[in-house]
Chains A and B, each alone.
Chain A
Amino acid sequence: MAEVAKKEGSTSRDTKTVTLTIDGRSVTVPKGTTVLEAALSVGVQIPTFCWHPKLKSIGACRMCYVEIEKMPKLQVSCATEAADGMIVHTDSDLVKRGRRAVLEFILLNHPLDCPTCDKGGDCDLQNLTFAHGYDDSRFDFQKRRFIEDGVESTFDDLRIGPEIILNRNRCIHCYKCVRANKEAFGEYDLGAFERGNVTEINAAPGQQVDNPFSGNLVEICPVGALTNTDWRYKIRVWLTQTVASVCPYTSSGSNILFFKEKHQNRVYRVTGRRNDDIDDGWLPDITRYGYQIIHSEDRLRTPLIKKEGNQETATWDEALAVIEKRLGEIKDKKGCVCIGGLIDPSLDNATLHSFSKLIRRTLGSNNVDFRIDYRMLPKTSSDNYSILTSRPFRIADIDNSDVIITFGSDLLKEHPNEYLRIRKACNFHDSRVFSLNPYAVKSADVAELELVYGIGADEAIIAALCLAGVEEKLVSIPNPDQLKEATGFALMTEAAAVCGVEPDQIKIVARALAKARKVTLIAGELVTRSRDRENIASALCNLNRVFGIEEKGQIAVLSRYANSMGARKLGVLPDPPAVVKSELTKLWGGWPDTEPRNTDSMLVNMKKEEINGLIVMGADPIMLYPDREFACEGLEKLDFLIVCDLFESETTALADVVLPICSWAEYPGEYVNLEGRVQQANQAIKPLYESRPGYEIVELIADRLGQKLFESDEVRRIEIEKLLEVDNGLSWPDSFVNTGWTNEEHDDEFTVPLAVGDDPHHCGHRTEKASSLVNFCGEAYIEISPGLAANYQIEEGDSVRVESPVGKIIVPVRISDFLDNDVVFIPRNFSSTPVTSLLMRKCRVDRVKISKVVS
């Protein structure tokens, strides 16, 4: 409440200002600002319950009364527009009486069970009553009680979702939860029922409050009416200390606060730390509950060494000694080129940079990559793809884009923060949203129009848009014939036919693009994970060229993990862009003269026994690589495998040495979010067990191999700083790029396209260790459209066998109303049901067959 406060919706594009007087101070604010925001902007505090900076004002709680001269009654400042010459008093006797009366009213029915209430000490009602209330009530009637099953109790605890517990007696009806759910998240699983004095907040009939943003409802509740099992009855808030950090799951890097208890060395919860440029203060549940992995019982506690086939606990010294010996052997016998390194791109800059230096300088090869879950990476990455990942992009600019296009992205699952931004742009700024997807996704619910094109026809839909622009004379380009040649289509209708989309709909999108004042175009994983991502990137370059998107906005392939952007900028790639390479060469005084090998080619070489040693930092390639069998075969052939991780995994099971790594809460680190913004995650607790931060482990290994990586931490910091400043120097292609497009033949037996991604409550494979997130979703499932389910005569909850040419899994069925074509979706987050076993690295579209399991 303390900070301000540019209210959504009032960010009017008109720049007129008004000047008013608040408590004797002259304040000038943009027209459309409310009196409350004007007051907050100069540090005048006005108490509120129902007001929220990111929601529309409803003026329900009446706590924010002010007296405005010449107005007959008290005005609610949250719903009164500031006007020229207004004279506002926020602390007059009348105002004080008004506030006192409101507090008295609210306390009439609010139980005074503060000693046992989880919100005690952190409660707006407590604080505001302390500041503005009476110590007595004039009314002595029985408090309103909600009675469940005939039991009258203060503890009216209803579990309304996997994590949320509702106490209706404590509710003061500010409606913030219902409003946030509706306005900010587009969810309708929570509502207000009945009316008047007996109004109650409750889950919608037959529904659970289990949307992926539901944790926010607890955070914004001003009293203890909504609490969650994560924090409830664990600790009193005044015993905790807060530490600012960032989220390691989302690539936008939501800003968070850890609530830790220092003597127990334990984190108790995570809340938002509002940053209007990034997250608006909303956290997705993965961010809020994902911290639980830190204290998971399954954490690796000590180093492990494989002895005669069994992994045994060891000390760091013993483990490092083994590494020194075995890596040295490989290095001496076969050369540096036989050692590779894979690293998780959600690790901090220091770890990424040290790791890259270990591989390049100490071991002397270019076998380093962070792109573990991508298939068929090209030997050398094309500039067209790299440019799309590195153009300036600002999350906050989504707000004022009047046309927003999402291409091949289930944003809700991949980029929850950006999804909320788009929803906000749509609700508060009337932006038009168009969604182009190979299959229907839930995130498209904000879209004015969702074009679902034939799966695998990504280039064709972009070509159709380009051609529509030219054919409809929406844009004029010098050489339309070259465009036709480059796309491989002579007419828009041809391309549209290939996509299976109505030409009229394509024209609507093209027209919006051409007319737009400001555009945001976001391409997501559904296309970037494709085998042909380079081609699709080229198509997007063509689209940018036709409509001049970047000149009036932003176009980007959003990076996926918390520090993918950092990894790219620091050059943790086999062949970083030329400028990055030369900067690194300058810093390190050399560059290994070996062939660059990415994840894909490293696995190929492992299979050929040309790579014998591998260091894996914080990742589980078996779980992530989109061809499980291929990854297993490669890793099994290794002579020596070092894995540093938080938990045991299938990859650690193969390892010769396993080293426990710290989680992001246990050491300070810097992360680069998808905009290129460097954010600091502070250390909240001391390292748990014997774990060590990633960069420290890397430096210990380097020391053993006889090289001190950095003279000091300061040197490392400076190197990183220099690299982050480097502009990668890429520019858009200066003509249309040939994309071409051919339809992929597929087996008649395996016909159903399979989509793989994250469950909305999970990110990667680690969140399985967060018990709250498991409460939302704890096992894999297959999402099937109602039509397809009818074809196979399967119902919700049935088990089905899903088979591809390389593997099979058995999963329960969920029928999804929004899936409207014959695509099925399986989340990749559950190690018990590894969906990657169905995937083949060389396929563009994975196809499966499904059959009902008869028990």
Chain B
Amino acid sequence: MVIEPDGLFYTKVKPKDVSEIIEKTLEKDEIIDRLLYTDPVSCEKEKNYNKIPFYSRQKRIALRNLGKIRPNKIDDYIAGGGYQALARVLTEMSPEEVIKVISKSGLRGRGGGGFQAGRKWQTCRNIESDVHYVICNGDEGDPGAFMDRAIMEGDPHSVLEGIMIAAYAIGAREGYIYVREEYPLAIIHLQKAIDNCEDVGMLGDSILGTEFSFRIRIARGAGAFVCGESSALMKSVAGEVGEPRAKYIRSVVKGFYDKPTVLNNVETFANVPAIISNGADWFKKIGTSKSTGTKAFSLVGKVRNTGLIEVPMGITLREIIYDIGGGILDDRPFKAVQTGGPSGGCLPESKLDLPVDFDTLTEAGSMMGSGGMIVMDDKTCMVDVAKYFLSFLVKESCGKCVPCREGLYQLHALAVKISEGRATEGDLDKMEKLSEVIVRGSLCGLGKSGPNPFLSTVRYFRDEYLAHIRDKRCPAGVCRELIHYEINDKCTGCMACITACAYDAISGKKNELHVIYQDKCTKCGACVAVCNYEAIDVT
């Protein structure tokens, strides 16, 4: 918890600490030492949260209100300057001016594609139609990503305000927020926010007494990853099967119900009010010239500090992982960082000094995506990682177009073959050719980027693949078919592993060296987990 205005920072606060904090800190200005944050590297205590690298290196725009306001109170949001941007837009600016500001700011869609938001809005506005729609994409399907969830749950009004400004700019009277079914709290908070807005005249007819009328409805997804794709999402909102459609029709021209539609994701919309309030130039100064502003990431995996972060564009991966993330857990060697969700890719240590922006990541064979960032250490097998993400994509492929439906399935089957040590080098070659067909031939982004987990790992970790193929060996000790467990001399004969083994695969007497029966061992790893003496080798 942070105690303002000083920014005093306590960690791991329990309910029983509250009375102490009130007594000492609030009333007597004393600092409770044991609750202070300890830097994992220098082991020094730090009392101000702004000085902690995890926070000091961040720049929060989209996440500006998180943790500071109560999400269910519109008054909190307004008190923090909320809806000022909307008021200004409605009373002082023409739609063209709004679009001009957004265009000038260089804001790019945060959902993965990185398309210029201002240009999208302008195109949509220019299309003559009786109806325009604005849709907010809250279908955050990437495993391990939770940026949009945090915003929708923690600061729903900033999303609504962004949507309303977009609606005013393009001339929409109706908007939708598509939220994935797995986010029940986000739905509750957004609905509450919409209700509150309607109560105070922020939504509905004649908003803030102006001629602008607008309504927002929530559409709930049904757990399909492909529904994060724009045309599939619009079909899903309209109540149809969520499948992408032919790409030559752009959704901004003929989108929802075949009407011009602006679709941006939650984070993009959350940025909009801040840009209007602070001006395009302020936003442009943050980040790089082609990727302005900040980007939120959910930093997870084998790093010390995990969680939601928002950093200026152009920051290096190394800064994110080592400064903000505090380095790898247990000081193991860094192996790879996976960005961009299942369709993204894995980057090795040599790429750690790349600046994080849309274009650089794509060049390096990964992508910005919606902002998932999974850090891996040397205990991670890259074949296994590719296999995992491919299996996710096979399950989530909608099945409409042939290359994605059939190709990803084969690619996954081949990855399984490698991980089980049954593959030949020809199979690796096959996988590369197959990937080319899928990338070239698929209909939507899911298929086009589908082979990325394989392509980026084979690009940077080919040796590891070859180890599986040639030596029938998994260097990271993960692929079950290729590893076996053995007890070494460090065994003290404590019998902990014998108790833990559910398959009676370990025998031995107290204080004597234990033995693993390979024929019974299922390689579940339960013995390793309980051994306190590092006496079990996985090779």
Contact = CB atoms under 8 A, between A and B. Distances in A.
A199 B405 contact: yes
A58 B245 contact: yes
Contacts of A109: 406
Given A73-B440, A108-B410, A197 B394 contact: yes
Given A59-B246, A60-B443, A195 B398 contact: yes
Interface in A47-78: 57-63, 65, 73-74, 76, 78
Interface string A425-469: 000000000000000000000000000000000000000000000
A139 interface: yes
Contacts of B443: 59-60, 62, 76
B400 A58 contact: yes
Interface stretch (A97-105, A222-230, A649-657): A97-105
Interface residues of B, number: 31
Contact of A197 (B224, B226, B406, B437): B406
Interface in A184-215: 192, 194-199
Contacts of A80: 248
A74 B248 contact: no
B395 interface: yes
Nearest to A191: B241
A138 interface: yes
B505 interface: no
B45 interface: no
A108 B400 CA distance: 16
A109 to B, nearest CB: 7
Contacts of A175: 400
B398 A106 contact: no
Interface string B418-458: 00000000000010000001011111000000000000000
A62 B430 contact: no
A509 B403 CA distance: 49
Contacts of B408: 197
B529 interface: no
B399 interface: yes
A660 to B, nearest CB: 53
Given A105-B407, A173-B399, A196-B405, A58 B246 contact: yes
B23 to A, nearest CB: 58
A101 B248 contact: no
B402 A196 contact: no
B248 A196 contact: no
A141 B402 contact: no
Interface in A685-739: none
A57 B430 contact: no
A61 B442 CA distance: 9
A236 B403 CA distance: 32
B413 interface: yes
A81 interface: yes
A728 B410 CA distance: 69
Contacts of A139: 410, 413, 430
- Most chain A beta-carbon neighbours within 10 Å: one of B224, B245, B246: B246
Interface residues of A, number: 36
Contacts of A98: 437, 440-441
Interface string B238-268: 0001000111100000000000000000000
Contacts of A138: 430
A196 B396 contact: yes
Contact of A62 (B226, B241, B402): B402
A79 B440 contact: no
B403 A105 contact: yes
Contacts of B442: 62
B399 A74 contact: no
A173 B398 CA distance: 11
A97 B434 CA distance: 11
A81 B441 contact: no
B400 A60 contact: yes
A254 B230 CA distance: 41
- Most chain B beta-carbon neighbours within 10 Å: one of A79, A105, A173: A105
Interface string B286-308: 00000000000000000000000
Contact of B413 (A63, A73, A76, A141): A141
A83 B88 CA distance: 43
Contacts of A198: 399
Interface in B202-239: 224, 226
B401 interface: yes
Given A57-B246, A196-B396, A74 B441 contact: yes
A196 B395 contact: yes
Contacts of B247: 59, 79
B397 A197 contact: yes
A196 B224 CA distance: 11
Given A57-B246, A60-B443, A192-B241, A102 B403 contact: yes
A79 B246 contact: yes
Nearest to A139: B410
Contacts of A101: 403, 437, 441
Contact of A195 (B224, B402, B430, B441): B224
B55 interface: no
B241 A196 contact: no
B478 to A, nearest CB: 23
Contacts of A195: 224, 226, 396-399
B460 interface: no
Contacts of B394: 196-197
Contacts of B37: none
B199 to A, nearest CB: 34
Contact of B397 (A59, A65, A73, A196): A196
Contacts of A105: 402-403, 405-407, 410, 437
- Most chain A beta-carbon neighbours within 10 Å: one of B395, B396, B401, B403: B401
A684 B241 CA distance: 45
Contacts of B399: 173, 192, 194-199
A79 B406 contact: no
- Most chain A beta-carbon neighbours within 10 Å: one of B226, B399, B439: B399
Contacts of B403: 62, 101-102, 105
Nearest to A182: B240
Interface string B380-411: 00000000000000111111111101111110
B413 A102 contact: no
A223 to B, nearest CB: 13
B253 to A, nearest CB: 12
B410 A196 contact: no
B526 to A, nearest CB: 32
Nearest to B393: A196
Contacts of B409: 196-197
A65 B441 contact: yes
Contacts of A173: 399-400, 402, 405
A198 B406 CA distance: 10
A198 B397 CA distance: 10
B411 to A, nearest CB: 10
A138 B433 CA distance: 11
A78 B246 CA distance: 9
B249 to A, nearest CB: 8
Contacts of B224: 195
Contacts of B248: 79-81
Contacts of B395: 196
A98 B440 CA distance: 8
A97 B437 CA distance: 9
A-B pairs, top 8 by smallest CB distance, nearest first, are A79-B246, A199-B399, A105-B406, A196-B397, A59-B246, A101-B437, A197-B409, A196-B399
Given A59-B245, A102-B403, A196-B405, 20 more contacts: A59-B246, A62-B403, A62-B441, A73-B440, A73-B441, A78-B246, A98-B440, A102-B402, A105-B402, A105-B407, A139-B410, A139-B413, A175-B400, A194-B399, A196-B396, A196-B397, A196-B398, A197-B397, A197-B406, A197-B409
5 contacts: A60-B443, A61-B401, A98-B441, A175-B400, A197-B394
Interface of A: 57-63, 65, 73-74, 76, 78-81, 97-98, 101-102, 105-106, 108-109, 138-139, 141, 172-173, 175, 192, 194-199
